[in-house]
Amino acid sequence: MKKILIVGAGGQIGSELVPYLRGIYGANNVVATDVRECKGLAEEGPFEVLDALNPTNMASAVARHNIDTIFNLVALLSAVGERNPQMAWNINMNALFNSLEVARQHNCAVFTPSSIGAFGPTSPKDMTPQDTIMQPTTIYGICKVTGELLSNYYHQKYGIDTRSIRFPGIISNKT
């Protein structure tokens, strides 16, 4: 049975994904974490307050729960990121880097979402190929492109099973 750790579980994707995965794999096999308490997620299964910028604490949670898959959903989106690009880079990239490093050390798979924000005004608008020009104009988009490349590096260099999908804009009725 899969044992999944979801970092950034209280956000737009996690608030919907955690209950869905708990329905498939069982509540005790999906450990939700966030930098702050999330009562709804904590009432339905295991939940821990966890700062994804602390790799030691993340590795401890992975070991304690026998995790085999990490979902890194940590993201500072464009609205806030454009006001503080240094903070956006730190949060978005270091949470992913820590997830990949912990996965390497503990033999886990990693999923991290990407976004159409990875594209830019010079990307083809119709029938956009997978590999195309990507010149985003926001720090969020720049982080998503970099995250795709970093995940690919970890797959090529260390054999880590890394997956991603470029989501369109997402709106959650829970967050």
Q: Is 43 exposed, middle or buried (0-12, 13-18, 19+ CB in 10 A)?
A: exposed
6 in helix, strand or coil?
Answer: strand
- Does the annotation count 140 as an active-site position? yes
Q: Which two tokens stand for residue 64?
A: 């304690």
Q: How far is CA 100 from CA 13, 56, 57, in A?
A: 19, 13, 14
Question: What are the helix (H) ranges across the chain?
Answer: 14-25, 39-43, 55-64, 78-81, 85-106, 139-158
* Active-site pick, 20, 25, 140, 154: 140
Closest CA to 79 of 12, 147, 34, 139: 139
- Residue numbers annotated as active site: 140
